[in-house]
Every structure is written in C-alpha cells, then in structure tokens.
Amino acid sequence: MTVRATARGEDRSSLDGTVVDVLICGASFAGLAVARELAGSRARVLLVDRYEIGERATSACAAPTPWLHAMGVAEAISQELAHMRFTTPYGSSRYRLPWSWSSFDYRRLCELLYEQSGVPFQTAKVQRRGAGAPGRISVETDRGTINAGLVVDALGWRRVLAADGYQPPQAPLSRGLEVHPHTDARASSALDVWVDRSLVRSGYGWCVPAGGEARVGVGSYEPADHVRSPTVDLAARLGVAAERFQGNWFPHRLRAGTEGGVFFVGDSAGHCFPLSGEGIRTAFYFGIACGRELRAVLEQGLSREQALLRYSRFSASHARAYSIALGLQRLIPVLPPRALTLALRVIGYQPIVDRAFGWYLDQAHPSFAGRSPEPARAPALMA
C-alpha cells in the first residue's frame, strides 16, 4: 500500500492566503501536461497533489510510443510492444500495429515531465472549492486556502472542484485492478487482451509486459462488479503471482471541460477513452490544450472567460469519437462470443488493422504535442 508522503515538520508550513496566477490541482499525467505547457512563463504557478511527484501509480502505465517520444519522456520506457493479441474462449488474433505501445516507469515519467515544467510543487490534499475573492477562485486544502485567477482540476474521476462529484457505483465509471508480479517479460512483444465472460462479465483482462515485471489486470465496465477475484484468476491462468495490487475507478463518459470558472482535465473531464479505458494519452492531449489556453491568458491578453469557452469547445468537439467508443463498449459485452471471435479475425487483416488503429490514434494524435519546452524555473510564490 502506498504511504502518503505529506510535508512534515518545518516543511508542513501553512499555504493559507497563498495567491498565484495559476493553480494546478493534481500532479499526475494531466496536471503535469498542463504544467509542462507553462514552462518559462513569468506567471506565478503552483502545482499541488496529496502525493509526491510520481509516488502513486493507478494504471497499467502503457501509452502509444509516439506520444512518449513527443512528450520527451522516452527515457522512462520499460518495454516497447509492437503487437496486440485479443483472446476469446474460441481463439486468439494477433495484430501488428501501425504504431507501438510502450510500458513505462510511472515515477520516472512523472519526474521527467515535472522537470520540463519547472513550476513549484507542494504536497497538499485538495478538499473543496472555497468562496473566493472577486476575480479569483479559492481552493481549500489541508494546508490552507489557496487563491488563483486560473484553476485546473486534474484530480481524477472525483471531479473535486465541481458542484456535483461522482459516487460509484451509480456513476458512469469503470473499475480496474491489477497485480505486478516480478517476471522477465521481455520475451513478449504483445500487449495481451482477454474478452472472456467467464473472467469478467462486462469488460476485459490484460497483461502488459514491462521488462522485469508483468502488469496483469481486469477492468469491468459495470462499476458494481468486483474485479479482485477475476484478477487473481487471470494471474493464476498465466502462472504468475498475484502480488503488488493497485487499482482505481476510471470514467467512460465525456464530461464538461469547464464548470464554475475551473478547467477540468483528464479523468475529471471524462477524458479516459471508452472501450479501451486508455486515459494517459488523452490526459497528455487535453492537458496540453488546457495549458495553451492558460498561456494565452497569461501572455496574449485572452480573458479567462474566452479561454474557458475555447477549451470547453475543444473538449466537446471530441464527443463523436467518444460516443463511437462508448457504443462499442456497450456492444461487445452482448455479442455472442463466437461472433466476436470472428469479428476479431476479420479486423486482423493488415489493411483493416492499419485503418482502425490509425483512426484510434488520430483521436488524440501525438503531433499535437509539438516541441518539448525547455526546463525553466517559475517565480517564487506570493503569500
């Protein structure tokens, strides 16, 4: 179990009354992508999270390899995976992808992204939105209230700074759990996916090779369904130990990108892609988009209201792709297993693989990342 690395002793100073230009709440993929876009800015930026940078991973930590290169974090790659294999009770289909996945070391990737941003960071648990002074938004934390002109919620599916948060199992959330057995996974070049109702009624299992370990897990689209037993079962099928558990909820429905003057990014905006449950690439993508809008406010005279509107429209413009993926998420669990097996084989023809996975990558293409910014140090905070 991860132990929270909160500031202690003299480092546990009050943040009450701190005033910044930009407050980014959440220091995982989405929040760090936003901070990265503000590198070199003369604005006062503060990044806060209840955990230290890179301390607590909650996913299988695999993303399209081109995205990891585009973000300047290829050093964190554990293993590149050029294939995907889909298995049902009636057979397997192995695809050679037009691009590859790569598993990576979560802590190192977060460190690399943070180094690119150069913004100050504090460990603090964000609790709720406060009343706020005119022209500013206040955020209450366990270390006091912070005030900012621009606020980003990258805190995950709970959408902490919104008026109405999510509460499973009623919310449109999927749930996932995985184990990390120590094993030499380097002989495999495939990311494996199992669609097997004897394992999970509505969802899938996976195995992500990551050098000296495998990441074996199960995700369910039905938040009321438990995933621990299926995860242990899948590990047993693969002959690996069910050890080092980690898991989380993840959204499968797009939500509003802004609310009450706050920018929502990553899981807090439902940016995790339905069907696949992939949220890292989209966290980068929408985090970059949000960061660029913030920079336009800070440096180009754009008003906060204009930035909120532009970002909201940008996020909503992806609704069609999310709707298609959500439709497939609902269809696949009800398809007869033999029909699904046949469909996977048909899709396995290389031109179809290239077209389908090309479309999938295009929904948040790595070319959007552009050039990695140079490391920079932001001005000191004003309390």
Q: Look up the CATH number of the domain holding residue 105.
A: 3.50.50.60
Range of 35's domain? Answer: 9-76+101-172+253-369
CA distances from residue 1 to 246, 271, 362 in whole angstroms, order as listed: 8, 27, 37
Share above pLDDT 90 across residues of the chain, in percent, rounded to a whole number: 85
138: in domain? yes
Could you tell me the two tokens for 353?
Answer: 């693989």
- Predicted confidence (pLDDT) per residue in 149-178, tens digit: 999 999 999 999 998 877 777 788 999 999
> Could you tell me which residue, 160 or 382, shows the higher pLDDT?
160
pTM over 0.85? The answer is yes
60: in domain? yes
- Predicted confidence (pLDDT) per residue in 81-108, tens digit: 999 999 999 999 999 999 999 999 999 9
- Predicted confidence (pLDDT) per residue in 294-349, tens digit: 999 999 999 999 999 999 999 999 999 999 999 999 999 999 999 999 999 999 99
297: in domain? yes
Output the pLDDT for position 96.
97
Neighbours of 34 (CB within 10 A): 34
Comparing C-alpha atoms, which of 200, 206, 199 is closest to residue 221?
200
232: in domain? no
Is the pLDDT at 372 greater than 80? The verdict is no
Q: Quick one: 284 exposed, middle or buried, by C-beta within 10 A (0-12, 13-18, 19+)?
A: buried
Q: What is the DSSP letter of 182?
A: B
Is the pLDDT at 78 greater than 70? The verdict is yes
Total domains in the fold of the chain: 1
User: How far apart are the C-alpha atoms of 326 and 330, rounded to whole Å?
Assistant: 6
179: in domain? no
Contact 59, 280 (CB under 8 A): yes
Q: What is the DSSP letter of 370?
A: -
85: in domain? no
CA distances from residue 280 to 64, 238, 241 in whole angstroms, order as listed: 9, 26, 26
7 confidence band (pLDDT: 50, 70, 90) = low
Output the pLDDT for position 60.
81
The amino acid at 182: H
Comparing C-alpha atoms, which of 174, 90, 114, 152 is closest to residue 290?
152
206 confidence band (pLDDT: 50, 70, 90) = very high
User: How far apart are the C-alpha atoms of 144 and 16, rounded to whole Å?
Assistant: 4
Residue found under tokens 């532009």:
310
- Predicted confidence (pLDDT) per residue in 8-54, tens digit: 555 668 999 999 999 999 999 999 999 999 999 999 999 999 999 99
Output the pLDDT for position 5.
44
- Predicted confidence (pLDDT) per residue in 214-237, tens digit: 999 999 999 889 999 999 999 999
User: How far apart are the C-alpha atoms of 237 and 214, rounded to whole Å?
Assistant: 13
Q: Which helix (H) or strand (E) holds 64?
A: strand 62-64
* Cα Rg of the chain, angstroms: 21
Is the pLDDT at 3 greater than 50? The verdict is no
207: in domain? no
88: in domain? no
345-375 residues labelled b (16+ CB within 10 A) or e (exposed): eeeeeeeebeeebeebbebbebeebeebbee
Output the pLDDT for position 11.
62
Q: Where are the beta strands (DSSP E) in 39-179?
A: 45-49, 62-64, 77-88, 91-104, 121-123, 126-129, 137-141, 144-153, 173-179
Could you tell me the two tokens for 275?
Answer: 């069907």
Could you tell me the two tokens for 213?
Answer: 């370990």
Range with lowest mean pLDDT among 11-15, 36-40, 366-370, 371-375: 371-375
The amino acid at 114: Y
